Structure 1
């Protein structure tokens, strides 16, 4: 015979236990489903970080050799990034730090390098079932190791950058930014890593600034190649007098523009490029008009804020709203005109490649750890900057610059070299140290150009009066071009 009191107590206990189970299920659902993202992203959750550094990272390769590695730490974060000759390649690799994250190729290709990219799975269903982590894959770059080393050596401690590309394919051969830094100095999570990072952040020379890709400069007279392209496209004769006075009064202004070189009065476009006459190209830019100049600049890649190689590149700028005096200055690479070294290398590459600019790319292929490819990157057209006729005329004019003009320091025996020098004014009322520029291309005699490049030097030990693109930047360009041609 049942006792009602015990039965009621049991039912109540059972109901209470059921409520507890429901509450636990609700809480588990809340934690594991609804709030999973919040907990995963919480700074207090170290699981994802521990898992990320539980195995070696894949590598970045240059000319077939690994320029990165991983070493065991003996700590909770088991592996940290190492770099072979880190300062030489910092503008290419960026950094991978246990504290400060990833940048440049280390950031853009992090999925492949860390092993989380689904393309690395050999048999996707089996990988999903076993949930075994994939070893990190590799990133094979387009960089030419010898040319990269030649560029850094030729810069010889000067502050600036070098960017070089292969005109026919867009493969980036050189990216150097000086001064540089060692990304391995803060790859870990120790006090020493934090100290190294703080020292780099406080350095007034900004060694972590990627000047080749992320810094824009007034391009100075190197921009005259773009202005010449606009004039030639409009039908101008490069060997006809331009009816240019000297000095040239800027439109609607009392300011007069002068030249450093003699012989610029009524000079032709060809002579004015060879001797770098400001007055001629300022006048030509005004006569071409704002719309035509904007179209031509954009055909070479200016005003494109979305260029990636796949690393993001700072947008180069040619203003779309200016008065005539401002247009005159912009047409000789001053006023608000600004360009990255890579952008100016693309200008030279477009001229060298018959007017067609290939999309610049820093990566040849992505592979699994065993070397099998998961992605092959091929050349793609970026812009048709000018037609073949105009490109041929520009090449002839640029080759004159190197043969007998301001760019003679870029001459290479048994090679065809074209170029343009530039000395860009800088700072408030142009009181800063001028920037020395050289853009150009080179190929073995009778062969298509193998390399196009841009060199900019921000500062050096030279006296202000001795700073020029031909004197400072052209020798650096020659060293890089020689290295590329030697390897072909």
Structure 2
């Protein structure tokens, strides 16, 4: 054999060995990554090759599956019953745009790929396991009451059972129908484009896919005064909600010449007790309280309620509600009335009323009770949530009494329910640069029936048809809370 043939043979052998090594590497090392890749069409074909499991509300599925009309080799697509009503709970499952919220968190259970669904026979044969189901804590009556009461306005509402942390309602409007975007056809694309269209003016953007109940944190206005009142009682600055405070009216923010006035100039806010200050929503009292306590003490109390928690999962990840750091005395005073850089989600303000109504103990809020396999066996239960103490029982009961005065004799009269004990706090928060936008209208509350049933509700109305001067927590948000509380205690 001449030298040229021998060299060619050696090179060829090396190339074959390199090819075999590469193939072995791809199969052994890269194989799983390639199999799991989002670009692997076979995964999508398998995932959408059979009906999905369901998300359950009140024992009935609010999701379904149907034969896909435009999906080609993607045989099934998601359907939704009362899609706009439950979209803030379910999220969406789309052949093109992925999975969100409960659909996304429990995707492996709902499409049957979760390892806990496998049995030995399936593992031997490679057969797809039957998908499981997700049971929610949502009460259909409470959810519908909030949705209908908001009536398409930009806003949101959350209802929680104070004793067990179950989220009974999570409403966000305007909403959308997830069924319209679950496929991959032209109609689905057009529907998605319409939902996400932007005209360049955020002020006028309805953002129907935004979950305002959990994922939008805005200034809470005077509803935050409950947090400051709790801090004052816990610190011992005042021992009773009926003890007079040392609060000049009007109050000049410390270190400035800025005078903070009250909306109701006839209200008895000078040196008012916490009960009176909550009843008339006296800015002077709570701005001075926050200043006297200092930002660290107010922040510590706010964080007990859930503020500044960047990993608040219910199990959907909620946006962080924030109480700022590094404020001067004047900014701390403004934070005491829920302004400056204080922000909160409706979930967070519902948690404030939830903890007060439960005697100062906050039970972790959650919207899923169980995850089950196709036969109904429990894969995971959320029925024994954690809890922690936010304030003493005595201080919580004092705040309950003051909140009930707000509804019985104060600014929250539209939340009254005959034969039911209702406590609440109104709020109107500035919106936009130099308060140029329509103010946010807030109401946070709780209700207790003689039978022992309880519910805590927070409502935020971002925008409405009301004139600016007519925007108030009692006028816009309290009637919505009343309807949700009535539904929960029915």
Report the Cα distance in structure 1 between the residues aligned to 2:90 and 2:31, rounded to whole angstroms.
33
Match for residue 75 of structure 2 among 63, 71, 78: 78
Match for residue 474 of structure 1 among 467, 478, 481: 478
Match for residue 23 of structure 2 among 16, 28, 40: 28
**8 Å CA contact 1:352, 1:449 repeated in 2:** no
Q: Residue 256 of structure 2 aligns with which residue?
A: 253
**8 Å CA contact 1:436, 1:456 repeated in 2:** yes
Cα deviation for residue 241 of structure 1 reads: 1.9
Q: Residue 52 of structure 1 aligns with which residue?
A: 47
Q: 1:104-146, CA deviations, whole angstroms, 9 ceiling, x for partnerless residues?
A: 000011111011111112x3x4332222111111000000001
Q: Residue 157 of structure 2 aligns with which residue?
A: 162
Q: Residue 86 of structure 2 aligns with which residue?
A: 89
Q: 1:353-412, CA deviations, whole angstroms, 9 ceiling, x for partnerless residues?
A: 010001011101111122222222123234311010100000000011011100010000
Q: State how 1:391-430 maps to structure 2 within 5 Å.
A: 391-430=396-435
Superposition CA RMSD, Å = 2.2
Cα deviation for residue 21 of structure 1 reads: 7.3
Match for residue 290 of structure 2 among 285, 299, 311: 285
Report the Cα distance in structure 2 between the residues aligned to 1:385 and 1:326, rounded to whole angstroms.
24
Query: 1:35–1:119: structure 2 CA closer, same or farther, 3 Å change rule?
Result: closer
Report the Cα distance in structure 1 between the residues aligned to 2:153 and 2:416, rounded to whole angstroms.
21
**8 Å CA contact 1:67, 1:85 repeated in 2:** yes
Report the Cα distance in structure 2 between the residues aligned to 1:281 and 1:44, rounded to whole angstroms.
56
Match for residue 318 of structure 1 among 320, 323, 326: 323
Q: 1:420-475, CA deviations, whole angstroms, 9 ceiling, x for partnerless residues?
A: 00011111111211100000001113x44511010000011111111000111000
Match for residue 463 of structure 1 among 444, 467, 471: 467
Pairing 1:140–2:140 present: no
TM-score computed with the length of structure 1 as normaliser: 0.93
Q: What SS does structure 2 have at the residue aligned with 1:202?
A: coil
TM-score computed with the length of structure 2 as normaliser: 0.93
**8 Å CA contact 1:300, 1:383 repeated in 2:** no
Query: 1:449–1:245: structure 2 CA closer, same or farther, 3 Å change rule?
Result: farther
Q: What SS does structure 1 have at the residue aligned with 2:127?
A: coil
Q: State how 1:194-233 maps to structure 2 within 5 Å.
A: 194-202=189-197, 204-233=205-234
* Greater Rg by CA: 1
Cα deviation for residue 80 of structure 1 reads: 0.4
Match for residue 363 of structure 2 among 327, 337, 358: 358
Report the Cα distance in structure 2 between the residues aligned to 1:435 and 1:178, rounded to whole angstroms.
14
Q: Residue 202 of structure 2 aligns with which residue?
A: none
Q: Residue 8 of structure 1 aligns with which residue?
A: none
Q: How many residues align?
A: 476
Pairing 1:437–2:442 present: yes
